């Protein structure tokens, strides 16, 4: 029977079929190539420059070899801390709203806004933080950078939170409500708790995304060649430093840029892979 059907398909259709399927496979292969090229180059140049000094030393002036990004690492940490303080609570709150009360028009408006905000260029958000904070305070600061990145975190955290909360079966909610527990307590102590690992990894995903952002920091955190732990002062950040070093003409600075890129990519890829593992087969598996 299968043999019969095969012979009824004309040669032209069979050729078109093979060519089209071949093109699809080829396209996928071509898409994967840049990933390996970029990852490979960053690893090749980055690992070569990876040493203890990178994490512990300050940047050296051009011409002197060695040095590290200690101040930028600490600065990134500070900025990301501020961003998390803004983005995580607002993001989780919005996520809870969307999952628990958002099955209606209001929810769709918020969902739509979140998606649109996600598409707003990061440099525009950076300019907004500049207009809000830097203009009124009259100087660049880690705080303003944190605010910019915090805003960028909200859409990602809220959408992933919504997604994992919806994976919690309705029966779990009903069981808790059936025991006479108020709705808010059910949501926080039962639903959110069940989905906690998913929410945490969603946060890490958003965190990884903003950790690599440099455009919104250019006019907010601004960068700093020196040590700074004051939230109200200009502060260095790893992605900004990579940019400055990459466009500089010094080989030593290029080396530092590659190493910074390698550290950043390792951090981000780690968070990504963790997210996928947890949401698709970890704790959430039993609940889907």
Partner 1 sequence: MPVLPKTKVRKESPQAASSSGNGSTKKPTIVFRRETGQSEGRIADTAFKVLVFACAISLLTVVVLILLQLVRQSELSLHKFGLRFLSTDAWNPVTGRFGALAFVFGTIVSSFLGLLIAVPLSLGTALFLTELCPPFLRRILGTMVELLAAIPSVIYGLWGIFVLAPVLRLYVEPWLQNYLGWTGLFSGPPLGVGMLAAGIILAIMILPIVASVTREVILAVPSQQREAVLALGATRWETLRMGVLRNARVGIVGAIILGLGRAIGETMAVTMVIGNSSYIPKSLIAPGNTLASVVALEFAEAVDDLHLSSLVELALVLFGITLIVNAIARLLVWSVTRGAPARTLA
Residues in 179-208 at the binding interface with partner 1, rule: CB under 8 A: 179-185, 187-190, 193, 208
Closest alpha carbon to 125 in 161, 160, 155, 104: 155
Closer by beta carbon to partner 1, 78 or else 264: 264
Closest alpha carbon to 157 in 231, 97, 104: 97
Cβ pair 130, 220 in contact under 8 A: yes
69-88: which residues touch partner 1 (CB under 8 A)?
A: none
45 contacts: CB under 8 Å, gap ≥ 6: 255, 258, 259, 261, 262
Closest separation in Å from C-beta 224 to partner 1: 13
245-274: which residues touch partner 1 (CB under 8 A)?
A: 246-247, 254, 257-258, 261, 264-265, 268-269, 272-273
Structure tokens at 278: 């947890």
Closest separation in Å from C-beta 90 to partner 1: 5
Closer by beta carbon to partner 1, 14 or else 81: 14
Among residues 176, 199, 203, 206, the one that binds partner 1 under rule CB under 8 A: 176
30-69: which residues touch partner 1 (CB under 8 A)?
A: 30-32, 34-35, 37-39, 41-42
- Sketch the per residue contact string, 211 through 240, with partner 1: x for CB under 8 A, - otherwise: xxxxx--xx--x----------------x-
CA distances, 18 to each of 7, 23, 62, 186 (Å):
16, 8, 57, 55
Size of the site for partner 1 (CB under 8 A): 106
For residue 57, the Cα-to-chain-centroid distance in whole angstroms is 27
Half-sphere exposure of residue 112, counting CA atoms within 13 Å on the CB side?
Answer: 7
Among residues 16, 48, 81, 196, the one that binds partner 1 under rule CB under 8 A: 16
Closest separation in Å from C-beta 183 to partner 1: 5
Closest separation in Å from C-beta 34 to partner 1: 5
109-128: which residues touch partner 1 (CB under 8 A)?
A: 109-110, 112-117, 119-125, 127-128
Q: Which neighbouring-strand residues pair with 222?
A: 235
Q: Is 139 in the site for partner 1 (CB under 8 A)?
A: no
Give phi and psi for 222, each to the nearest 5.
75, -35
Rounded Cα–Cα distance for residues 125 and 139 (Å): 18
Among residues 54, 207, 243, 253, the one that binds partner 1 under rule CB under 8 A: 243
Cβ pair 252, 62 in contact under 8 A: yes
């Amino acid at each position: 029977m299968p043999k019969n059907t095969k012979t009824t398909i004309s040669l032209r259709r069979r050729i078109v079929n093979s060519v089209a399927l071949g093109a699809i496979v080829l396209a996928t292969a071509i898409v994967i190539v840049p990933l390996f090229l970029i990852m490979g180059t960053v690893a090749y140049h980055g690992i070569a420059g990876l040493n203890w000094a990178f994490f512990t030393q300050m940047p050296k002036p051009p011409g002197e070899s060695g040095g590290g990004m200690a101040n930028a690492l600490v600065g990134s940490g500070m900025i990301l801390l501020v961003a998390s303080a803004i983005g995580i609570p607002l993001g989780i709150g919005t996520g809870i709203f969307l999952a628990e009360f958002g099955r209606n028009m209001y929810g769709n408006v918020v969902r739509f806004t979140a998606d649109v905000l996600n598409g707003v260029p990061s440099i525009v958000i950076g300019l907004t933080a500049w207009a809000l904070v830097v203009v009124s305070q009259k100087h660049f600061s880690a705080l303003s950078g944190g605010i910019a990145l915090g805003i960028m975190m909200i859409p990602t955290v809220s959408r992933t939170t919504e997604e994992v909360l919806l994976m919690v079966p309705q029966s779990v909610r009903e069981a808790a409500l059936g025991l006479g527990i108020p709705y808010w307590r059910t949501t926080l102590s039962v639903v959110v708790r069940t989905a906690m690992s998913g929410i945490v990894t969603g946060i890490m995903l958003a965190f990884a995304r903003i950790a690599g952002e440099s455009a919104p920091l250019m006019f907010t955190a601004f960068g700093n060649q020196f040590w700074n732990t004051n939230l109200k002062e200009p502060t260095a950040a790893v992605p900004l430093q990579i940019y400055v070093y990459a466009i500089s003409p010094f080989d030593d600075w290029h080396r530092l840029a590659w190493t910074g890129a390698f550290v950043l990519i390792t951090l981000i890829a780690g968070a990504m892979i963790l997210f996928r593992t947890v949401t698709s087969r970890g704790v959430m598996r039993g609940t889907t």
